[in-house]
């Protein structure tokens, strides 16, 4: 086993393996397991302070997209995987209520549609069209696949 992390995290993991501490369980473990097999994956609990800052002001300046629906995220899962030439990104936020999850899904789907409609770049429209957002109970599932070739093309597009 190879273990990387802060000194405290590594010591905690060693304590768990020796039986001196209890392993992670509950919603954090559920979130981690939902991500399946991946090259990189993590599950984190969002502190209340972080959630509260999401309601302070809309992002993107002139485009008033409120992040208030995201203030009810309690756990966030993230996975990145690479198979052959394809990179897959999964983001799975868990919400305190199904209503909050639905509002956040509607906000995400609406923002993607708005940016896709406003974009004059066909490649950007195609990439935005690849973002899948769906909901299961209090979970939002955001999936995105991109090829290495598409990343190279995107990089060239944004270079001066």
pLDDT tens sequence across 65-114:
777 888 899 999 999 999 999 999 999 999 999 999 999 999 999 989 98
- What average pLDDT does range 15-22 have in this prediction? 90
Report yes or no on 18 lying in a domain.
Answer: no
What sign for the dihedral angle of Cα 114, 117, 122, 125? positive
- The fraction of the chain above a pLDDT of 70, given in percent, is 92
If you average pLDDT over every residue of the chain, what do you get? 88
Report yes or no on 19 lying in a domain.
Answer: no
Report yes or no on 143 lying in a domain.
Answer: yes
User: What pTM value is reported for the model?
Assistant: 0.81
CA nearest 94: which of 151, 33, 15, 147? Answer: 33
| Total domains present in the chain | 1
- What average pLDDT does range 25-53 have in this prediction? 89
Report yes or no on 73 lying in a domain.
Answer: yes
Q: How many helices (H) and strands (E) does the chain have?
A: 6, 5
What are residue 69's phi and psi, to 5 degrees? Answer: -60, -20
Question: Which structural domain range is residue 103 located in?
Answer: 25-158
d(CA 51, CA 96): 12
The predicted pLDDT at position 9 comes to 86
Report yes or no on 7 lying in a domain.
Answer: no
């Amino acid at each position: 086993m190879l273990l990387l992390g802060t000194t405290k995290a590594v010591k905690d993991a060693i304590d768990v393996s020796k039986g001196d501490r209890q392993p992670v369980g509950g919603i954090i473990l559920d979130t981690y397991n939902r991500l399946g097999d991946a090259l990189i994956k993590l599950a984190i609990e969002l502190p209340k302070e972080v959630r509260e800052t999401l309601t302070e002001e809309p992002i993107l300046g002139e485009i008033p997209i409120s992040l208030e629906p995201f203030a009810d995220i309690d756990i966030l899962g993230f996975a990145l995987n690479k198979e052959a030439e394809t990179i897959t990104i999964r983001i799975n936020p868990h919400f305190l209520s199904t209503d909050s999850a639905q509002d956040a899904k509607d906000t995400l789907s609406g923002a993607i549609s708005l940016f896709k409609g406003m974009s004059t770049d066909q490649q950007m429209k195609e990439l935005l069209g690849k973002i899948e957002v769906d909901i299961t109970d209090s979970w939002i599932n955001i999936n995105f696949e991109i090829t290495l070739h598409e990343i190279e093309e995107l990089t060239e597009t944004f270079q001066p």
